[in-house]
Structure 1
């Protein structure tokens, strides 16, 4: 009887320590993600963050169709609910008297809207860590689950995108929820958790299309489909995924032509290794492992994660296949594409963390078997795993801290815009490269006329017209502004294997060229080193865009340098901006 009580007490003590360590990891994840949350505000740094916020606010007009399907709408619906609560609170407190004042606040100072979206990203890290622990505990062991949580909590890529209002944190939660349900289905043989896994996978697809890779978890959780019941369970789970997707994104049915037009353009971009902005993109199978993963999770953890994934396939337990299924499917498909953005791979990182923890645990158990007597081996193996995980986590935490430190430094483009606002005469005519120089009302009106006359030739980021421009002009009335013309750049091209080029900017190359050739119509030009570097090699540019090289190369001879805005270590970040006085100047 005493042994039973002692065993229960030891088990209870172990569970308490496990909970304590888990919540310590949660706190660490939240602190790393909340630090510097207001970075660069009130300026806008990440274009997709602004698109999500604008889309969510636009639902307030009464139209739930986003009319923009480069991303499915679940995340923007969630933001809309939060902004609705903020509006009701602000209306009750007298912060704004109606919907127009609410939107006007977004245009004058959008900080509150960004903090709400970014705060949601931080809060979503809590269920992500808890779900990863549950998944790791179920398919491996409690200590492997804790080690995976620690490694994932400090990964720089996860910390980076939790500092933005974007889809990735919600996507991670839904995919991990699908993984937990798939593990339960695998271990119990029951259909209900498998259907739940399919539903969570469908919701993940309704957040970001890469959520479709969660279906690999569903497939891995089904027994080998040799019996009719296995096929029925698999088809039922896929049907649940489709139903969940249509529930959160019903527009393939409600607006099929609009949805298909957006998605077909999106689908035409990947699935070939090609050129982007005239830079050759190498084979992404190597590029992800050699460059993106070492930056996103530190080099030691990246290599251990890849080795751990191979180890799981070789050990070949069904639980191991479940862990390795999603990153393997992702790697095989995305490795053949041109979509080299690091954020696309973030959905794999919890599974890579778990694969690394499983490999370290196996190595620790083998080492303990060689170094310790039989009675002490479990404790020694746990200590070795903890030491390895903490060592790797210290490297990740340091890399994440350095990343956040850079994110909170002022960007040179914003410093340039502030200097211009303070020192140049009002309504000066400025040709600006990417810096958010405040516009006059007439400048906003002219930009609106151009966009109405020359709409984009392809579906890119949705145009903002109507009420948005009306309120933008109202916001411009109350501030010191300038007659600003933006230097626009083609976003990308695909020209290999006979593929046609595509542009996502709303200006044609001819109008872009005319805009830059009329340099004497401006008083100042603000140019970035990024543009000069991008177009430095004239001979490799498409013929219709060689004028961009000529423009940047000829600036020094056509204008007088007024001020140079350079990044300074520990004080500012970003490319170098040069302000030239051209034409008559002021």
Structure 2
């Protein structure tokens, strides 16, 4: 295959990768909590308009919030203007989320380049193309590429670091490792491949300064450049690092090795990826993968996205294994390539198709807006977003016409919304928390005219049982169902199957709307 053909093939793979991540990117259009953690980073990015990053103690470095902050500044120039950003998030969430999700899609699609380079450095051009294709349609990588969270940028930096290691570019490897750690602490295992490459460089006779000391210094500088708040509050940084220890104490290895990675790659792709990492030249990446697995195995609260750093090296392993087979038996290699690439591609298309449909909570919100009655919304992370009338009126005056939108009316009046909105940029983060997350408390005896109940799957860990309601006084008025639940995560409040999409109708939890037919219906919230 000529160099021109290789470039054309890589460009086509990149186009597929980007399209897969952009399709369905507008999911949960009216729900600020459609993907948990998006609101966390958006609000921290807003907070940076008035104060330094202050979430180190929560276990999050500041790199991604700073990236979103820069994106918000660009949006203010081109689209948001002087709008109150907290109100924009609460009234029209996609005005904040969509550019950030698109950025994640770009990071995800761009990751095929270092994955390609990694497999090429280890094996050949053909291995690089196979690896790029495996990453382009990987279910978990595509899913992460839809979200305004850290995982897609993290995978890009992990892939770049491993590629630099494969090319013996130790300074670049250190820079990428430090930047990745500034995005998310789960990049810490990158110290292993960097250390292996440094040892190999020393054995080749390179001076210690160039082989180890300078790369370490570059990594430290990159980390501090990406998350400089560490220098301002080292105690909070260390407290946040220590907080990760609370997540351990169980065995999550069956979840990751038996469910997450096979769902991401398919069983054939997963097996090929592991086999490809047995290549001697892939030692640094194989050691990195083993280190990540060792950290994932004892987790007691496992999330599928925690396995994201494994995707670049495993995709490169797929490319290496397929290229090796291709040189021995083209027919067998073609069959295994189809078995490795087609199942995840099909599941990715099913995921994208599902995300492109209206969320159950969006449907419920439209129904409630049409009714125009005060509502109590509960269900924790599964709740339907609504705003008190005072909040709606205050935000209407703080948003330009193109950002205004109808929102279900939440019963009651809990805060001086006009005063909170009037604080401007200094109050965006606090206001956003109040607007986006006021209904996470369970309400045992709601006193609104309507109750909307978002119900997570029965085995979902992060929610208790729904509040009991007298069905005589609260008859069901409407129900919005996601269809078959498929295989879902027990801890993650992103209510979309991890696998088995065939029976799913739309994203979101089961949502039931009930109307009060007896007793008080004054529309005041019970606290």
Matched, 1:221 2:191: no
| Residue deviations 1:390-440 (CA, integer Å, cap 9, x gap) | 442222211100011111222222222221221152xx3524221112322
Q: 2:385 corresponds to which residue?
A: 436
Matched, 1:55 2:41: no
Q: Distance in 1 between matches of 2:308 and 2:207?
A: 31
Q: 1:332 corresponds to which residue?
A: 294
Give the conservation status (yes or no) of the 8 Å contact 1:117–1:165.
yes
Q: 2:248 corresponds to which residue?
A: 271
Q: Secondary structure at the match of 2:368?
A: helix
Q: 1:295 corresponds to which residue?
A: 263
Matched, 1:486 2:439: yes
Q: Distance in 2 between matches of 1:221 and 1:435?
A: 50
Q: 1:153 corresponds to which residue?
A: 136
Distance 1:520 1:25, change over 3 A: closer
Distance 1:572 1:180, change over 3 A: closer
Give the conservation status (yes or no) of the 8 Å contact 2:109–2:136.
no
**Number of equivalent positions:** 469
Q: Distance in 2 between matches of 1:173 and 1:523?
A: 49
Q: Distance in 2 between matches of 1:58 and 1:205?
A: 22
| Residue deviations 1:440-486 (CA, integer Å, cap 9, x gap) | 2276995559xxxxxxxxxxxxxx9934566899x99xxxxxxx972
Q: 1:561 corresponds to which residue?
A: 476
Give the conservation status (yes or no) of the 8 Å contact 1:430–1:485.
no
Give the conservation status (yes or no) of the 8 Å contact 1:104–1:472.
no
The 5-angstrom pairing of residues 465-504 of structure 1 reads 466-468=427-429, 486-488=439-441
Q: Secondary structure at the match of 1:486?
A: coil
Per-residue deviation at 1:71? 2.3
Q: 1:529 aligns with which of 449, 455, 466?
A: 455
Q: Relative to structure 2, which stretch is displaced further, 439-448 or 287-296?
A: 439-448
Q: Distance in 2 between matches of 1:87 and 1:268?
A: 39
Q: 2:506 aligns with which of 572, 576, 580?
A: 572
Give the conservation status (yes or no) of the 8 Å contact 1:206–1:248.
yes
Matched, 1:239 2:217: yes
Which structure is higher in RCO with an 8 Å CA cutoff and minimum separation 6?
Answer: 2
Per-residue deviation at 1:159? 0.8
Q: Relative to structure 2, which stretch is displaced further, 399-408 or 432-441?
A: 432-441
Q: 2:159 corresponds to which residue?
A: 176
Give the conservation status (yes or no) of the 8 Å contact 1:420–1:437.
no
Give the conservation status (yes or no) of the 8 Å contact 1:37–1:163.
yes
Per-residue deviation at 1:321? 0.6
| Residue deviations 1:146-180 (CA, integer Å, cap 9, x gap) | 11111111001111111111212211221122112
Q: 1:79 corresponds to which residue?
A: 68
Distance 1:448 1:301, change over 3 A: farther
- The structure with more helix, counted as a fraction of residues: 1
Per-residue deviation at 1:564? 2.5
Q: 1:260 corresponds to which residue?
A: 238
Matched, 1:133 2:116: yes
Give the conservation status (yes or no) of the 8 Å contact 1:39–1:407.
yes
Distance 1:271 1:235, change over 3 A: farther
Q: Which runs of 5+ in 1 are unaligned?
A: 1-12, 186-192, 274-282, 368-379, 450-463, 477-483, 489-511, 536-540
Give the conservation status (yes or no) of the 8 Å contact 2:46–2:69.
yes
| Residue deviations 1:298-350 (CA, integer Å, cap 9, x gap) | 232123323433x33xxxx2x12123122111112211222411111111112
Q: Secondary structure at the match of 2:477?
A: strand
Q: 1:200 corresponds to which residue?
A: 176
Distance 1:220 1:230, change over 3 A: farther
Q: 2:520 corresponds to which residue?
A: 584
Q: Distance in 1 between matches of 2:294 and 2:433?
A: 45
Q: 1:398 corresponds to which residue?
A: 346
Give the conservation status (yes or no) of the 8 Å contact 1:198–1:238.
yes
Matched, 1:46 2:35: yes
Give the conservation status (yes or no) of the 8 Å contact 1:357–1:389.
no
Q: Secondary structure at the match of 2:318?
A: helix
Matched, 1:344 2:270: no
Distance 1:350 1:555, change over 3 A: farther
Q: 2:320 corresponds to which residue?
A: 358
Q: Distance in 2 between matches of 1:572 and 1:559?
A: 26
| Residue deviations 1:262-305 (CA, integer Å, cap 9, x gap) | 3333x2322311xxxxxxxxx32222111111222223212332
Q: Distance in 1 between matches of 2:432 and 2:42?
A: 16
Provide the aligned C-alpha RMSD in A. Answer: 3.4
Q: Distance in 2 between matches of 1:531 and 1:144?
A: 41
